[in-house]
Amino acid sequence: MLTVVAFIAALGLLIAVHEYGHYRVAVLCGVKVLRFSIGFGKTLFRWQPAGSSTEFVIGAFPIGGYVKMLDEREAPVPDEQKCLAFNSQPLRSRVAIVAAGPLANLILAAFLYSVVNWSGVELPRAILAVPPVGSIADRAGINGGELVTQAGFDVAELQSVESFDELRWLLTRGALEGRDVHLVVKDTAASTTRDVQLPLAELDVQNADQTMFQAIGIIGPRTRPVIGEVMADGAAHRAGIRQGDHVTKVGAVQVVDGQQLRDWIRSTASAGQPAETVWSIERNGEAIKIKVQPQRVVEGGVAVGKIGAFVGAAPEFVTIRYGLLEGLIGGVTRTWEVSALTLRMMGKMLVGEASLKNLSGPLTIADYAGKSASLGLTQYLVFLALISVSLGVLNLLPLPVLDGGHLMYYLWEGITGKAVSDRWMERLQRGGVAVLMAMMLVAVFNDVTRLLG
């Protein structure tokens, strides 16, 4: 139920803001707006404010919206109202009206990111987990437990890193843009600082997914290797492990974080029955040793080791909050970065350098809406901002059925002094619909594949 409500609320807000951008600028330009509709299909609500010529409507299917303006191309217009028609407006006014919708979505995104910056949010600190063997981070000398204090694409322009989320965003941009990332890390145990370069330009990234971060070697923040709830009759219970035990070594291997310990436990059954191993544990300030033999369990046709206990504590968190101006600049900057990255990925998909699996449709969006809402208001606002950027950028694409397509017509009119002919307009509209339908089919196919996978 939460997923449905969060999805409908997100769609309703983003569509309303988009259409309001068109509506508000149309009114400012002196165009008569006949109808402002959120959704299509059967009318659920209809009202017309006193003294207004605009009818406001909410339709049964909130999958889009429209602003219907007085236009001689759609219906006859009385002579005394021709000056109020959209088609009679100067080129600059028509451009402003069409561009206002996508720009409204981008402004909303910048505002939402700013609200998150102002309100403050608890995020994991940028303390690194042990990287997978052979990954870029492993080859660069990351051992796990290091705190990232600065990062950037250029050594001369490093910026402070406040949270793991900031680091993850920088790594995403680096991998997708083919740029190396420079880190300044602090070894918390030795209190020493060193520089690390991650050559992300060597990655051939097709999908922005977990596989990409696996190759980079920075998957999540470090979690302390502390034992959580212990199941009765499990391997951990039989060995005498207790909730709250801090695992420091497995055999001769130093244990730095919970993910490292979980991966090791799962790998113990890869060559048959897991062997008994001595674990070094800290319990109530006392160092003890316990022999543990994981159980062999088959999951999805793959044999893995299990100990019957939750492994790993929550990561260390830090509260991030910015002032009014700093938070606003951060919101605008993040909107610009996400917009640029979205356009770059679309370009890569167009030329075959990125997989079409990166396209997401309504099912994935609904799933993320529910998950983000369940994590709290802050995460939901971040989700809304991201989708608002995507909607704004998508509508600016030069496809004839989208706002960007109309702007393309106006560009031609501005250069040649002539409007696009009705014949060419019809051809381009058909082509635009075909391209858009193909994109939607691919997106829905990706949605189903993700959900079933």
Find the helix or strand (DSSP H, E) in which 67 lies: strand 55-69
Question: Cα torsion at 276, 277, 280, 286 (round to 10°)?
Answer: 20
Q: How far apart are the first and last CA of the chain?
A: 22
Find the helix or strand (DSSP H, E) in which 184 lies: strand 181-187
DSSP 34: E
| Cα 15 from Cα 213, distance rounded (Å) | 33
| Cα 90 from Cα 53, distance rounded (Å) | 22
Question: Cα torsion at 383, 385, 387, 388 (round to 10°)?
Answer: 160
Cα distances (Å, whole numbers) of residue 234 to 237, 266, 452: 5, 15, 31
Question: Looking at 276-380, which runs of residues are DSSP E strands?
Answer: 277-283, 286-292, 295-299, 302-306, 309-311, 317-320
| Cα 388 from Cα 384, distance rounded (Å) | 6
Give just the sign of the alpha carbon dihedral 243, 249, 250, 253.
positive
Based on the residue annotation, tell me whether 19 is a catalytic residue of this protein. Answer: yes
| Options 19, 80, 157, 337, the catalytic residue | 19
- Which residues are CB-neighbours of 345 under 8 A, at least 6 positions away? 176, 208, 354, 358
> Are the beta carbons of 20 and 91 closer than 8 angstroms?
no
Q: What is the DSSP string of 259-291?
A: HHHHHHHHHTTTTSSPPPEEEEEEETTEEEEEE
| Cα 160 from Cα 147, distance rounded (Å) | 12
> Are the beta carbons of 394 and 92 closer than 8 angstroms?
no
| Cα 157 from Cα 390, distance rounded (Å) | 28
| Cα 229 from Cα 232, distance rounded (Å) | 10
> Are the beta carbons of 257 and 225 closer than 8 angstroms?
yes
> Are the beta carbons of 37 and 68 closer than 8 angstroms?
yes
Nearest to 226 by CA among 143, 147, 284: 284
- Which residues are CB-neighbours of 271 under 8 A, at least 6 positions away? none
Strand partners, 247: 281
- Active-site residues, by number, are 19
